[in-house]
Structure 1
């Protein structure tokens, strides 16, 4: 159940424990104009910045809604225990040295467990975190400087790094921030719990997540479903893609970073928009706050420069932005307004002929906005006020805002360089309902993200397949055993026979039809060891192939060759450290490493998900039929993938990974010609790596 954070997030009274850090919190509360009660507890001081101090927690005049605990880690546990016993609304635990330091053998894990027990039902943020800022109600339970201002509505940001949270408050991009909350170690209250609570505030327009690990996957699912139901978009940065980043994450917040592909697949499945940089994160949140998710990809770029128009087209290449042509009435009206020298195209360079004529500029801009487009973007870089006079550009500002008011269209202004749009002009545009995007590449990425947000499904996906089993000793099933296990779930495999000797092999092969494939068993990577022979057309070629493998192979697997293949597909399922199962579809056979052509889904996956992923691959053209060849049976191919997924679901408690490569797609079916399954503590049919 999601904890009740209402008193902690919107307190009427705040207690503070500690020395210097508590002083900083009092300073921020006074600076922000917090209207509630402030109760510093410090036996060594008479007051903090004029606020009288209390000698002990027993002297509190009431039960605090929120507390900042800035004492050492052992004392933190004592204070939390006392606050919980009196029914306090919640606390933020500043001290470090808990689970995030466990690798240094400091006893942090035990201390964190004690902290959780002490808190009981009282919600706590952290430990190892700064706390929270509520710019809606002037609550700054925060022991450091920050750059935000009071707002009436805005976005909420939950970050697993306090320093990143501070940096985000310093933005000068016009983003109205309603809340900033540092999650720290998430010992008791996770980032998903915090984000779920923030959805309950009607003044919050969108949620931003800075994630170093996913924590409780079920809680994340609950949050995503709630966000979807409330119609509030969610944007996330998930770090930990590189080995070094994952190592840093483990020592920083004790979070489990997980696999980058699995993380991206998880966010996409839950309808959370993933971005890569803080700049794009902030720009996307700003666009979603101002305009919401875009209903489509039709975008018009308007500028007073051919260079800007061309650059917009180039930078947008490969994104979701679609610069559709003007409607015929628009084209005619624009031609009349702009004259014969202006080419009417999208992106549009309207030249300087009407510059300075606000009524005419307003008419032209209104014509552009009137129909056709899901978003109209004006490229506009303002002169710097310290060295230049930007007043000559006020005409464009006034005309854009006026045209927006006349049409009610979705409108954004984009400065090609972030520094070329001052806070003064940003506020003018934002007050007029015009989104302001700082930086061309960042702005285009934000527009693409808003398009993606508009395409998110309204229906919640099935709950994820999860396994709580951690790392353990694993064993690999032999190829024959792997295929047999998958065949029991409906996967089609070739007719085959196993043998330990050449004589036995030749006897077993009599029941099979040539051409045959021969594989030597005993090694995981058979091709590299010369233990695969294909297209064996008769008994003599089979005998010769077996003799070449003798001395290396521990046994033999002989199969009927699968002919008529149209494409080779890789199907892999791996258990991610987060407990989710990642389904990887890609180009198979010899093309696997060469093309690195893959698509990723999380289990369970639907037939529609699988077919969409298959069609997104480069080999999708082969599956559709290429250069006169027939199309593969996509339904049968999907059936094969679903059969593999069914095996994974049935064995989720033991499955570590499996791979079918290649799965040969044909005109009438799909056949698995190689397979490998790794299970935790498998007790039978073991074939381990040398």
Structure 2
């Protein structure tokens, strides 16, 4: 664990302050069975939490491994300085009112800088955080109640929200939690550094991150790289989908590439699985704790109800989960176990003929799990223990366990409702190595994540920022700049009047496209005319446009598809490469995929194949297929320009895709953050 080892796995804890929060820390340490020394520090109170106090940090028996500082923000700085001076292992800073409150407190940023200077080389977590729970060794620098229990191995959870951390500790899903750490405002120590330290503990099986904002992208890359090396998966719940990374509205790309697009692209690039709610977060961690990443998305499901089988199929429909048809081997085995009356399928409704017959259920589940499958599921909602007898349900558990032994495949028991998976049952299933899924939707999200974890991209992100100020290039200037990096553009020339536009059109060659310069969103503004075939048509069209300068271009024909290719600088995630349906379809379809620069040709091709307009690129209804190498060359040219000339924004829309080439019909470049 390196720098954070003493703080995360302390053998001595100092509790600084005399309020209820500090007394709670002492109580929670007792509850989790902390075996080390606990030293309360207070200048006037004789005892805190039933323990005799020390009047100052300097009078402690030795430098504490970990400290909980539960005093106001000004005294927190003094305490941090004193702890650093005596060689303490690290501290939790509970107080708020630092940089996170800069909008409300004029001195917040200055006090945070003073806190960092006071800490020096000593690690601090926070400020404005609850602290940490180590349930492996029994340490609780935690000022409130929590619902966790000790475990021998489990998952680690880091969150920037202390209240969400408390809520997660109250889960009743049987998930063994090894660590809970709240990061607060990450003044010194960020999620990535904490996460890497936790993953180094051999008893931690997976890492869960609740993320409000990502600070150090290089540190996040290092975290993902180390997780890959250790073979320990990461699950992220990233909030902020409604925010836009940028306020600019001069391009379609800016509206498509919001902060959520950048965050999702970043997490995919780093090989981190993403979920959208807390329930799926816990279910995914539970599955990964037991099975690790699944070998494929091919699963089988069995239940004693046709309704449940249908619900399973429907629940998986929106995910990348496959219920493959039964093979002859599976069908023969199931027919032998179930007899002639049961319709065989996957998901399977095995009816109730074999209910209560452990041998028959084992034979059924074992037959179903033959073939190329990564996971078997038995749908089973457990009865209320206060009103019902669950003895027959225990036989199903025994049969699932016997099937796992016979087949060597992981299995889960899935309660369709979270209410019908009692905590005691979930804990028993976990102890047997059976995944106790709580809720169909949550289970499908977890399986989808575990089966489709992306491989980490090894190329480092491009993070060089654009200039603070810049300008917006004209279309002709943008095309010329991009053409120098290999982007193909139409033959064109400029004109400064309707009359000269007509003359230029003769030299370009009819038919032509006429565009008014200096106009954003030309189609909406009436500043573009297509397919003009005479000089007279060109002059007439020019006079109708709201501008005095024009671009005359060759008219591109035999176009198979129009793409948008854009790059925007997202300060939180790097440069977001957006691929979308282009032209007039951009706003209508909102059909886009996002990657981060630099993106490989393999990943770009895969993203293009996920677009709804992908069939047009493949050759739709007998049309010729697009020249995909030309498309990839065009996108590479745009990326190369960005990496050589960091800019705020580039958009090529449309990139006209044909059977033998890909040509940028329009281009925009904004060079800096302010114009």
Shared fold (TM-score greater than 0.5)? yes
Per-residue deviation at 1:244?
Answer: 10
In structure 2, relative to structure 1, the CA distance for the partners of 1:205 and 1:246 (3 Å cut) is: farther
Counterparts in 2 of 1:71 and 1:444: CA distance versus 1, 3 Å: same
Which of the residues 491, 500, 514 maps onto 1:504? 500
Cα 1:469–1:663 shift into 2, 3 Å = closer
In 2, Cα distance between the equivalents of 1:612 and 1:353?
46
CA distance in 2: counterparts of 1:535 and 1:371, whole angstroms: 58
Residues 1:150 and 2:160 are matched in the alignment = no
Map of 1:462 onto structure 2: 459
Q: Is the alpha carbon distance of 1:555 and 1:245 closer, same or farther for their aligned partners in structure 2, counting shifts above 3 Å? A: closer
Query: Closer, same or farther in 2 for the Cα pair 1:469/1:589, shift >3 Å?
Result: closer
Match of 2:654 among 639, 642, 662: 662
- Equivalent residue, structure 1, for 2:590: 596
| Cα 1:460–1:220 shift into 2, 3 Å | same
Q: How far apart in 2 are the matches of 1:569 and 1:364?
A: 51
The equivalent residue for 2:626 is 632
Contact 1:133 1:139 in 2 (8 A): yes
SS in 2 for 1:15: strand
What secondary structure sits across from 2:508 in the alignment? coil
What SS class does the counterpart of residue 497 from structure 1 fall into? strand
**Cα distance between partner residues in 1 of 2:403 and 2:312:** 22
Map 1:239-318 to 2 at 5 A.
239-243=239-243, 259-318=259-318
Alignment of 1:81-92 (within 5 A): 81-92=81-92
Aligned residue number for residue 669 of structure 2: 677
1:570 aligns with 2:570: no
Equivalent in 539, 542, 557 of residue 543 of structure 1: 539
| Superimposed CA distance per residue, residues 181-215 of structure 1 (whole angstroms, 9 cap, x where no aligned partner) | 00001000000000000111000000000000011
Describe the SS at the equivalent of 2:399: helix
State the Cα distance separating 1:310 from its structure 2 match.
0.9
TM-score, normalising length from structure 2? Answer: 0.96
The residue number in structure 1 matching 2:483 is: 487
* Aligned position for 1:685: none
Corresponding residue for residue 126 of structure 2: 126
TM-score when normalising by structure 1: 0.94
Aligned to 2:553, which of 530, 551, 559? Answer: 559
Shift of 1:577: 2.4
User: 2:333 matched to which residue of 1?
Assistant: 333
1:17 maps onto 2:13 in alignment: no
C-alpha distance in 1, partners of 2:463/2:650?
16
Q: In the alignment, what sits opposite 2:95? A: 95
Show CA shifts across 1:191-243 (max 9, x none): 00000001110000000000000110000000000000000000000001124
Runs (4+) of structure 1 exceeding 6 A deviation are 244-247
Deviations 1:147-167 (A, max 9, x none): 000000000001011111111
Corresponding residue for residue 437 of structure 1: 437
Cα drift, residue 467 of structure 1: 2.8
Please report how far the alpha carbon of residue 473 of structure 1 lies from its aligned counterpart in structure 2 after TM superposition. Answer: 4.0
SS of alignment partner, residue 475 of structure 1: coil
Displacement, 1:431?
1.3
Is residue 605 of structure 2 the alignment partner of residue 606 of structure 1? no
Structure 2 match to 1:324: 324
**Aligned-residue offset at 1:474:** 4.1
Q: What is the CA deviation profile of residues 421-455 of structure 1, one whole-angstrom value per residue up to 9, with x for unaligned ones?
A: 112211221111101100011111111111012xx
Aligned counterparts of 2:165 and 2:268: Cα–Cα separation in 1: 24
Q: Secondary structure at the match of 2:394?
A: helix
Unpaired runs of at least 5, structure 2? 248-256
Aligned to 1:250: none
Does the Cα contact within 8 Å between 1:366 and 1:406 map onto a contact in 2?
yes
Equivalent residue number for residue 254 of structure 2: none
Question: What is the CA-CA distance between 1:33 and the residue it aligns to?
Answer: 1.2
- Cα distance change of structure 1 residues 638 and 106 upon mapping to structure 2, 3 Å threshold: same
Paired residues for 1:163-562 under 5 Å: 163-243=163-243, 259-453=259-453, 456-457=454-455, 460-468=457-465, 472-549=468-545, 552-562=546-556
Partner SS for 2:568 = strand
Task: Indicate the SS of the match to 1:544.
Answer: helix
1:316, distance to aligned residue in structure 2 (A): 1.0
Deviation at residue 261 of structure 1 after TM alignment: 0.2
Q: 1:329 Cα deviation (Å)?
A: 2.2
Q: Residue 599 of structure 1: CA displacement?
A: 0.8
TM-superposed deviation, 1:367: 2.5
Question: Aligned to 1:133, what secondary structure does the other structure show?
Answer: strand
- Give the count of matched residue pairs: 665
> Which residues of structure 1 form unaligned runs of 5+?
248-256, 683-687
- Tell me, in whole angstroms, the C-alpha distance in 2 between the residues paired with 1:244 and 1:529: 25
The answer on whether the counterparts of 1:162 and 1:184 sit within 8 Å (CA) in structure 2 is yes
Contact 1:13 1:38 in 2 (8 A): yes
Mapped partners of 1:525, 1:200: distance in 2: 52
CA distance in 1, matches of 2:667, 2:74: 53
Measured in 1, the distance between the counterparts of 2:578 and 2:329 equals 48
Quick check: 1:54–1:60 contact (8 Å CA) kept in 2? yes
Q: How many Å apart are 1:503 and its aligned residue?
A: 3.3
RMSD, matched Cα: 1.8
Quote the offset at 1:681 in angstroms. Answer: 6.9
Deviation at 1:42, TM superposition (A): 0.9
Q: Is 2:58–2:82's contact at 8 Å kept on the other side of the alignment?
A: no
Partner of 1:617: 611
- More moved, 485-494 vs 43-52: 43-52
Cα deviation 1:394-423 (Å, max 9, x = unaligned)? 221222122223332110010000010112
Distance in 1 of aligned mates of 2:574 and 2:24: 42
| Inter-partner Cα distance in structure 1 for 2:76 and 2:374 | 52
8 Å contact 1:225–1:460 — kept in the other structure? no
- In 2 relative to 1, CA 421–202 (structure 1 residues): closer, same or farther, beyond 3 Å? same
Could you tell me how far apart the structure 1 residues matched to 2:2 and 2:80 are? 16
Deviation at 1:262, TM superposition (A): 0.3
Q: Contact 1:133–1:140 (CA<8 Å) still a contact in 2?
A: yes
Q: Distance in 1 between matches of 2:542 and 2:300?
A: 66
- CA distance in structure 2 between the partners assigned to 1:526 and 1:246 by the alignment: 22
d(CA) in 1 for partners of 2:240, 2:25: 31
Shift of 1:579: 5.1
Distance 2:303 2:28 in 1: 43
CA–CA separation in structure 1 for the residues paired with 2:509 and 2:210: 58
